[in-house]
């Protein structure tokens, strides 16, 4: 048995008592952090109660401001940053829901590819993914029951798949990004991690005031199956998932236009690079001090003609209309959350390619854990829904989670 993996259910915590949660979190971090290295800063506030979450410990990705803590963005350029004067808007919203930030979690440099030191608690010696690596590992290890990430390409969904936990990316623009060091204004979205999908539903309800999707009536869903460029292990897992869902009563039909999604996938990095070069202009001016992946992104974006960027944005807009039409009589799109299991080693973070098309559209996504390779490495699937319809997507995801577990 792997002693580093012990996801902590938010629902079990909140429906019991959140009393003592900070102490439990502190003890688990002390026990596992020397091996995992998921945090860059810890700060233990006085226990507080209030809000629907009642004082649960919260990890915050280190590109998101927390008052009193520095935001270093995983970069030497921010090594001497002073503490943030105020919380980011999204942190304020989570505090209002009753969550208590206990520290900053490891991110790749400015939420791009250069990895931090974090190991994968579900597959030690394999990457936890990026860029929200610290938050995913903190939840998978049971250091905290809830942690924040952000996604511009695949920075929430891929780490969830690699670490074997649940995660949700909110619709683009669902909450403001004030106080977040972003890369691409038209792509940056908020996300969060929990142990299971039913915990995501509880957290989303607490954050937004929406109904708890885990308690809503759910019928077997109608799903469109998209396979993308999944590798052999993930394709086998998708086949298993499809069979279990159909057996449980779901309708699963092939996505009608995989070529459209491939073209959407190709448009995403054009938009990302162009906007990143302008959003991170100050860092571009110090490009020699950046990691090679980030330097290449910013330099590529600086060379990208505006006309190419506008064509990519226009293609995304037309594709959004087509995908919305495809979803007309379906509840969600089912697909792989990553090309395969977490790659071995900590020098890379894996490939975000299977999140790029959905992130370009700005639609909500849910990573559903529970599948694995024959030798036990995590494999996650994802569900993609309609923009601004998070509660409906979570209702479907809760049904899928239960069916996969049977």
Angstrom distance (rounded) from CA 1 to CA 233: 23
Q: 161-218 pLDDT, tens per residue?
A: 999 999 999 999 999 999 999 999 999 999 999 999 999 999 999 999 999 999 999 8
Rounded to whole angstroms, what are the CA distances from 105 to 83, 216, 312? 15, 33, 33
Rounded to whole angstroms, what are the CA distances from 280 to 181, 301, 337? 9, 10, 28
Mean pLDDT, all residues of the chain: 96
Q: What contacts 93, CB < 8 A, 6 or more positions away?
A: 175, 207
SS3 state of residue 326: helix
Residue 45 Rama label (left phi>0; alpha psi -120 to 50; beta): beta
pLDDT at res. 56 = 94
Residue from 124, 132, 155, 133 nearest 32 by CA: 124
- Please state the length of the chain: 406
- Proportion of the chain above pLDDT 70, given as a percent: 99
Angstrom distance (rounded) from CA 178 to CA 87: 9
Asked whether residue 33 carries a pLDDT value surpassing 90, the answer given is: yes
122 is a catalytic site residue = no
pLDDT at res. 406 = 84
Q: With bands split at pLDDT 50, 70 and 90, how would you rate the model's confidence at 18?
A: low
Per-residue pLDDT, averaged over 299-326, amounts to: 98
**Paired sense of beta strands 332-336 and 39-42, if any:** unpaired
pLDDT at res. 50 = 86
- Tokens representing 233? 């292990």
**Model confidence, pTM:** 0.98
In the chain, % helix, strand, coil (3-state, to 5) comes to 40, 15, 40
Per-residue pLDDT, averaged over 272-297, amounts to: 98
* Weakest mean pLDDT among 4-8, 41-45, 108-112: 41-45
61 is a catalytic site residue = yes
- The kind and range of the H/E element at 242 are helix 232-247
Q: What contacts 357, CB < 8 A, 6 or more positions away?
A: 261, 264, 265, 268, 319
pLDDT at res. 142 = 98
Q: With bands split at pLDDT 50, 70 and 90, how would you rate the model's confidence at 15?
A: confident
Per-residue pLDDT, averaged over 318-335, amounts to: 97
Per-residue pLDDT, averaged over 380-392, amounts to: 97
Angstrom distance (rounded) from CA 182 to CA 151: 9
| Helices 292-303 and 258-279: angle between axes, nearest 10 degrees | 100
Per-residue pLDDT, averaged over 63-70, amounts to: 98
Q: Which of 25, 133, 141, 155 is catalytic?
A: 155
Q: Which of 25, 122, 131, 184 is catalytic?
A: 131
Q: Which of 61, 104, 133, 161 is catalytic?
A: 61
198 is a catalytic site residue = no
- Proportion of the chain above pLDDT 90, given as a percent: 95
Q: Edge-to-edge strands of the sheet including 146-151?
A: 39-42, 99-105, 56-61, 146-151, 189-194, 166-169, 365-372, 378-384, 332-336, 222-225, 251-254
Asked whether residue 380 carries a pLDDT value surpassing 70, the answer given is: yes
Asked whether residue 139 carries a pLDDT value surpassing 80, the answer given is: yes
């Amino acid at each position: 048995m792997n002693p580093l993996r012990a996801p902590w259910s938010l629902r079990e915590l909140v429906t019991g008592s959140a009393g003592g949660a900070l102490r439990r979190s502190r003890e688990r971090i002390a026990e596992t952090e020397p091996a995992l290295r998921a945090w860059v800063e810890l700060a233990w506030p006085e226990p507080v109660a209030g809000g629907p979450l009642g004082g649960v410990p919260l990890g915050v990705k280190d590109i998101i401001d927390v008052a009193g803590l520095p935001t270093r963005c995983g970069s030497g350029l921010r090594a001497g940053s002073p503490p943030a004067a105020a919380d980011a808007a999204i942190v304020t919203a989570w505090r209002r829901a009753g969550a208590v930030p206990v520290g900053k979690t490891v991110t790749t440099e400015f939420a791009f590819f250069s990895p931090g030191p974090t190991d994968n608690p579900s597959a030690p010696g394999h990457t936890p993914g990026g860029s929200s690596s610290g938050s995913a590992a903190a939840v998978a290890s049971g250091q905290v029951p809830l942690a924040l990430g952000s996604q511009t390409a695949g920075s929430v969904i891929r780490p969830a798949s690699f670490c074997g936990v649940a995660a949700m990316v909110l619709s683009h623009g669902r909450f403001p990004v004030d106080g977040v060091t972003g890369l691409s204004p038209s792509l940056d979205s908020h996300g969060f991690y929990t142990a299971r999908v039913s915990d995501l539903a509880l957290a989303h309800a607490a954050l937004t005031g929406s109904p708890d999707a885990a308690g809503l009536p759910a019928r077997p869903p109608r799903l469109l199956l998209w396979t993308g460029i999944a590798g052999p292990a993930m394709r086998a897992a998708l086949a298993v998932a499809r069979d279990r869902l159909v057996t449980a009563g779901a309708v699963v039909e092939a996505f009608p236009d995989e070529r459209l999604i491939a073209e959407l996938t190709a448009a995403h990095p054009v938009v990302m690079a162009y906007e990143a070069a302008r959003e991170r202009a100050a860092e571009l001016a110090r490009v020699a001090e950046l990691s090679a992946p980030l330097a290449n992104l910013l330099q590529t974006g600086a060379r990208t003609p505006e006309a190419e960027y506008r064509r990519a944005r226009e293609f995304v807009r037309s594709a959004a209309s087509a995908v919305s039409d495809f979803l007309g009589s379906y509840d969600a799109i089912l697909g792989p959350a990553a090309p395969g299991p977490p790659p071995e080693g900590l020098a890379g973070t894996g490939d975000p390619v299977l999140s790029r098309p959905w992130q370009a559209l700005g639609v909500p996504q849910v990573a559903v854990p529970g599948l694995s390779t024959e030798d036990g490495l995590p494999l996650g699937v994802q569900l993609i829904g309609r923009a601004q319809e998070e509660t409906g997507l979570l209702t479907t995801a809760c049904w899928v989670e239960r069916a996969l577990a049977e």
